[in-house]
Amino acid sequence: MTILIADDNREYCATIGDIISSEGWNYAAVYAPAEVLEYLRLHNGNVALVLLDVDFNHPQITGLEVLAESKRLYPHIPVVMISGTGSINAAVQATRIGAENFIPKSDISREKLKEVLYTAMERLNTRIAGEETLQFMHTHGLIGRSKRMMEVAEKIMKYGKTELSVLITGETGTGKKIVAKALHAASRRAKANFVTVDIPNIPPSLFQSELFGHTKGAFSGATDDKIGLFQQAHQGTLFLDEIGDLPLELQPSLLLPIEDKKVKRLGSVREEDVNVRIISATDRNLPESIREKRFREQLYHRLRECEISLPPLRERREDIPLIVEFYVQQHNQRMGEQKYIAPAAMEYMQELSWDGNVRQLTNLLKRVLQTVSGDRVEIADIVESDPSLIQKYIAPYPESLPAFAGQPITPAAVPPAYPQPFTSHTAVPSYSFPISSGNLKADEDELKKQRVIATLTATNGNVSKAAAQIGISRETLHQWMRKFHIESRDFKRK
């Protein structure tokens, strides 16, 4: 990778270049604004950092204009601005445009330059690592850029490289098996088998035979030798799915195989070595199960050397458009179609509660994309595919609001978990909700209106907080408020 120096003072470029070379980095130098953009056009994939002069001796193009154009065309390349004048105004402008740092030439010393370069390169490495993590996630079906999902991804990359047992927890449909496969893919065992033990679907009477195998004649019906799932996963990963459903009386049979990596087939006295990495998953609260004597603490500690907790979809709504677009693209590639989600429909999906999490969302998309007649998917298509979704529209409130009550909403109608912002002498805005008209669009508008009123009531008229609670942008909330003639000042405490 190369550090690009852009300054019309050739002697200065050579001095800076010597410092860069002494630290073991490569550099290139250009001496005019147009040359900066031309170099980036030809070599942008190999440029790690640009040191850019603010004060080019050029009558038409300034360094700040070059900065703005480079950030527009190559936003991934960090730029450090250098100025001979040290203007505060230029520094502020450069920072707003996207410069990593701003240094007056009078302040530059070998140590200062090294500090700036190492800081910028560290940020670049962090950014590259983040993009690589996102690519890994995408490749393995983990879609999202939210803070919660990036934390999950970082744990996958960190724990995947170890031999530690990992317990994956989370609600049904959050993608626990996908995470387990990603852990396997990130491990040194990636080329070996990934074997799933579907615990709820193994009859208790066959559990030990399925996991450890049996010899011919070990029991009635054992007509041949059989290897178990532990042996099938040798050198690879054994995934114990829904481990919380394992009956208490069968749990001791896993303790020694997990601890000692040895199994004994039913009907045999000989132990077999099995080199397996254990990953397990559950939607149950295992510490609570331990307290209730439904899960053995010894097994819990063997399974949970590390833990990855998956957030429900309602706690990472910003990822919904990414998930939707991912599955729409998959559908279009598979079916040779050009389906897409209307903006209003995308917003609508971001506002649903998704009790079934990602699995519910993807199942809905499969139905809608395969049954909608045109290319554009509207809100009506989504609700028609799953009519129960209209009832989930006002999530995530802890209690349902009185939909279509035919009366003005008052503070008493707001769920009790939210504060009552009105005093006894404060006038309450009178917004009436008509009885359902049977028209889906009109009903949907009334539900939106209810939600806006309730959220503004709860947030004391704070539009930013209300938009964040609903999970939409401020601009979208302002559009809704204009549409329904709602004023935020009507909800502020007097």
Higher pLDDT, 439 or 378: 378
pLDDT higher than threshold 80 for residue 122: no
> What's the pLDDT score for residue 411?
36
* Among the listed residues 11, 103, 94, 6, the one whose alpha carbon sits nearest the alpha carbon of residue 53: 6
**Of 257, 275, 309, at which residue does a domain stop?**
309
Task: Give residue 109's pLDDT band: very low, low, confident or very high (50, 70, 90).
Answer: confident
Q: Are 266 and 218 in contact (CB under 8 A)?
A: yes
pLDDT higher than threshold 80 for residue 180: yes
Domain range for 468: 411-491
**Of 100, 128, 156, at which residue does a domain stop?**
128
Are both 157 and 296 inside the same structural domain?
Answer: yes
pLDDT higher than threshold 80 for residue 311: yes
* Among the listed residues 186, 147, 148, 144, the one whose alpha carbon sits nearest the alpha carbon of residue 166: 186
* CA–CA separation, 180 and 114 (whole Å): 42
On whether residue 383 sits in a domain, the answer given is yes
Higher pLDDT, 91 or 9: 9
- Across the chain, mean pLDDT equals 82
> What's the pLDDT score for residue 66?
86
Please state, for a pLDDT cut of 70, what percent of the chain lies above it.
84
On whether residue 67 sits in a domain, the answer given is yes
On whether residue 325 sits in a domain, the answer given is yes
Higher pLDDT, 400 or 381: 381
On whether residue 101 sits in a domain, the answer given is yes
Are both 322 and 417 inside the same structural domain?
Answer: no
Are both 123 and 154 inside the same structural domain?
Answer: no
pLDDT higher than threshold 70 for residue 298: yes
On whether residue 475 sits in a domain, the answer given is yes
Are both 358 and 421 inside the same structural domain?
Answer: no
Are both 300 and 320 inside the same structural domain?
Answer: no
Looking at residue 331, which CATH number applies to its domain?
A: 1.10.8.60
On whether residue 139 sits in a domain, the answer given is no
What predicted TM-score, i.e. pTM, was given to this entire model? 0.60
Are both 219 and 157 inside the same structural domain?
Answer: yes
Residue 326 carries which side chain, given as an amino acid letter? F
Are both 166 and 277 inside the same structural domain?
Answer: yes
Are both 13 and 111 inside the same structural domain?
Answer: yes
Are both 210 and 279 inside the same structural domain?
Answer: yes
Are both 214 and 301 inside the same structural domain?
Answer: yes
pLDDT tens across 60-72, in order?
A: 778 888 888 888 8
On whether residue 403 sits in a domain, the answer given is no
Are both 245 and 340 inside the same structural domain?
Answer: no
pLDDT tens across 384-435, in order?
A: 888 776 555 433 333 333 333 333 333 333 333 333 333 333 333 434 444 4
Looking at residue 28, which CATH number applies to its domain?
A: 3.40.50.2300
All residues at 6 or more sequence positions from 2 whose CB lies less than 8 Å from its CB, including other chains? 25, 26, 27, 28, 43, 46, 47, 48
> What's the pLDDT score for residue 398?
34
Are both 276 and 355 inside the same structural domain?
Answer: no
Looking at residue 486, which CATH number applies to its domain?
A: 1.10.10
Q: At what angle do helices 463-470 and 440-458 cross, to 10 degrees?
A: 130
**Of 392, 424, 446, at which residue does a domain stop?**
392
Total domains in the chain come to: 4
- The CA-based angle 31-35-37, given to 5 degrees, is 130
On whether residue 404 sits in a domain, the answer given is no
> What's the pLDDT score for residue 375?
92
pLDDT tens across 22-44, in order?
A: 888 888 999 888 888 889 888 88
Looking at residue 304, which CATH number applies to its domain?
A: 3.40.50.300
pLDDT higher than threshold 80 for residue 84: no
